Amino acid sequence: MSEPILSLTGIDSGYGEVQVLWGLSLAVRPGQVTTIIGTNGAGKTTTLYTLMGTIKPWQGKIILKGEDITAEPPYAKTERGMVLVPEGRQLFNSMTVEENLEMGAFPRHSRARLKTNLSRIYDLFPRLLERRDQKAHTLSGGEQQMLAVGRGLMSEPEILMIDELSLGLSPLLTQQLFGTLKTLKKQGATILLVEQNVHLALALSDYAYVLAEGRIFTEGPAKEVAENGEVREAYLGL
């Protein structure tokens, strides 16, 4: 297996005095889709926020391409190529679709290719091209999620982290968005996915981690995790 581009080792993290993650260790390898599944409250979103620096880890290390970035703030990690598409989209609602996409080109390295990257996003999401001059708050839920993913891609991320891609979306829109992730995977993207639709997440992913109460319950190649009896019973309804 290739060396991880991103790894967490022995991470303890939480909110205030409430500990959520307990000795968490995981790795993300380049060109792969890695997924984290688990019940509500298992620590999935906390893992992503800790990775991005929104939450400071209490203990442990975060290594990106061989460098310790544990203490770096979110903007510095974004400059390094880490991008989070957050749960709930968190768009700039009073701005247009295109203005939201332009805001995604925050890192210095991506600003020079803003027009090229805009064209790429419009190719991925033709609906956004049709809506380019509309305010973000006027979009449907599916269109807003497309915009959130597109904004993340505008920074040319080395690692794209997505929190609950399918939340609140219809099965059809969910399939469409997972189709886009499949396209990105074929293009060599590195994706870390937190997702409630376990069937689709495991089908897309190369490697999977199952979190339970802030700890790794099991991990392995996604196909093996999908065949794990306890995972099938708890998460796949089988």
Q: What pLDDT does residue 2 have?
A: 81
Q: C-alpha angle 121/178/92, rounded to 5°?
A: 50
At residue 195 the predicted structure's pLDDT band, cuts being 50, 70 and 90, is: very high
Q: What pLDDT does residue 106 have?
A: 82
Q: What pLDDT does residue 201 have?
A: 96
Q: What is the dihedral of CA 149, 152, 156, 159, to 10 degrees?
A: -90
pTM for the predicted model, two decimal places: 0.93
Q: Where are the domains of the chain?
A: 1-81+160-168+190-238, 88-157
Which SS3 state, helix, strand or coil, does residue 57 take?
A: coil
At residue 1 the predicted structure's pLDDT band, cuts being 50, 70 and 90, is: low
The percent of residues above 90 in pLDDT, for the chain, comes to 88
Mean of pLDDT values over 183-197 = 96
Q: Does residue 234 register a pLDDT over 90? A: no
Identify the sign of the CA torsion 228, 229, 234, 238: positive
C-alpha 184/C-alpha 31 separation (Å) is 10
Q: Domain 1-81+160-168+190-238: what homologous superfamily?
A: P-loop containing nucleotide triphosphate hydrolases (3.40.50.300)
Q: Does residue 200 register a pLDDT over 80? A: yes
C-alpha 58/C-alpha 69 separation (Å) is 14
Q: Does residue 69 register a pLDDT over 90? A: yes
Mean of pLDDT values over 28-52 = 96
Mean of pLDDT values over 145-160 = 96
C-alpha 40/C-alpha 211 separation (Å) is 10
C-alpha 166/C-alpha 164 separation (Å) is 6
Mean of pLDDT values over 174-180 = 95
